[in-house]
Amino acid sequence: MVKLRKAAEVKFEESEDYKTGSWRKDIPVVIKRDVLDEHPEVALFCPEAVIIYKDGKFSHIDYRYCKGCGICAQHLKDAIVMKKA
Ligand code: SF4
């Protein structure tokens, strides 16, 4: 009979526990909120779903999870700029 040993232990956590914003080197800065109000589709492009709208208006970016990929700034070049974090 073969005896099996435990080779590894994996700890599972909620994805909210991983603050992916700590990976960021650049940070998106909103310079024209009214443009975001008119283009809520930008939230759909964000891979982390951290561009937050409330009541149809832009509210904020949740920087705890924003990775600084710059996709939002590419989509709305005149409203969001990337700066060094
Ligand atoms: S930089 Fe990337 S992760 Fe951060 S808000 Fe923009 S699209 Fe989302």
**Confidence band, pLDDT 50/70/90 cuts, at residue 14:** confident
Tokens 């705890």 locate to: 64
Report yes or no on 5 lying in a domain: no
Q: Global pTM? A: 0.83
Q: Which of 73, 64, 60, 68 is nearest to 24 (CA)?
A: 68
Report yes or no on 8 lying in a domain: no
Query: Which atom of ligand 1 lies at the shortest distance from residue 82's CA?
Result: 1
Report yes or no on 16 lying in a domain: no
Per-residue pLDDT of 36-79, as tens digits, reads 999 999 999 999 999 999 999 999 999 999 999 999 999 999 99
Domain boundaries, position 58:
27-84
pLDDT, greater one: 18 or 54: 54
CA of 70 to the centre of ligand 1 (A): 6
Count of structural domains, the chain: 1
**Following CA atoms 62, 68, 73, 74 in sequence, which dihedral angle do they give, to the nearest 10 degrees?**
-140
CATH label of the domain that carries residue 53: 3.30.70
Q: Which residue(s) pair with 82 in the sheet? A: 28
Report yes or no on 72 lying in a domain: yes
CA of 25 to the centre of ligand 1 (A): 12
Report yes or no on 9 lying in a domain: no
